[in-house]
Structures are given as C-alpha cells and as structure tokens.
Amino acid sequence: MRERNTAGRDPGDDFDAFVRARWTTTARFAYALTLDRQAAEDLAQESFAKLWFHWQKVGAENPDGYLRRIVTTTFLSGRRRRWIGERPTAAVPDHPVGPETGRIDDQLSLRQAMGRLSPRQRAAVYLRYAEDLPEQVVAELIGCSVGTVKTHASRGLAALRGDQTLESAGVFAGIAEGHA
C-alpha cells in the first residue's frame, strides 16, 4: 500500500501525471542527444525510472531540472560504457523525390552534422540553443565548469558552421552570420 502525501493524494499519481506531461519533451531532448529514436525512447524511459526512485524528495522541488540532469548524465555515462556496435540503415535515395522533401533533407543534414559532434558538444549546443538554458544550468547538467560549456558550445557551433553538408543545404545561414 502506498503512502499518501499531505494533501491526501497518492504520490504515485503525481509521478504518473508528471510522466504523461513531460514524456514528449523528454523524448525529444533524448533524441537530440542520441540521434536515434529507439535509443531516445530507451534513454527517456530509463531516466523516468531513475527519477521514480527519488520522486518523494524531488517531486515538490524542481522535477524538470532533476529529470533533465538525469537524462544528460545517463546519456553521457552510457556513451562511455556501452559499445554501440553496428547500426542497420535502409537505403536512402541519392536525390529527393519531390520539392516537399527539402525540409526532411535539411533535418537529415542537421542530424548528421550533430552526429559528428562529440557527445558533450552536442549536449552543450542543444541545451544552450535549442532549450535556451543559461550556461550555468548547462554546466550543472553536463557536470563541468561554465568555461567548459562555453568551449563545448563554441567548438560545436564552429563545427556546424564549417560543416559542408549544412553549408551546401543552406540550413544554418543564421549561424554562419553569427546569429545562433
């Protein structure tokens, strides 16, 4: 039998509601880090499982920040421990089928370019620019100093600016001009 919180509600209900409300955002963040849908879902699920064990102390405080930290540290520690191995892929056509495929091509180009960044650079760039988090928060999530976050973000953006795939597709005209 589960304990009731001070409001008389089951704390598990609060966690269930939190998971339902944050699943999509968390899976999107995990995908930005892993660049693989199945790995992203696994990472999100593993992160929510880890959060569940600490829900009693975290639930009322800052569960979003705590969850983001779990996702980031789980991703970074998982990259060190696991062998990624082979990744089967379907054959991709050499040319687009129609004009509407341009957006998909841009997304694929961006995904490939992000995949060429180191895991820490990818996390710093995504958290800093897609999530619009301050450098201090990103530093806490990645587990490094603010200066290191600046270095990772700067080198990551420089790599994206110089990426031939993105340059030829015109995906980051704003970044090339210094407007991140």
Q: Give the integer Cα–Cα distance in Å for 14 and 32.
A: 27
| pLDDT(122) > 50 | yes
pLDDT (tens digit per residue) in 128-176: 998 999 999 999 999 999 999 999 999 999 998 888 877 765 655 544 4
Domain boundaries 101-176, CATH class: mainly alpha
| Residue 177 CB neighbours (<10 A) | 9
- Where do you find CATH 1.10.1740 in the chain? 11-81
> Model-level pTM greater than 0.75?
no
Looking at per-residue pLDDT, the higher value among 111 and 98 belongs to 111
Please check whether the domain covering 11-81 is classified as CATH 1.10.1740: yes
- Where do you find CATH 1.10.10.10 in the chain? 101-176
Instruction: Place 25 in a pLDDT band, splitting at 50, 70 and 90.
Output: very high
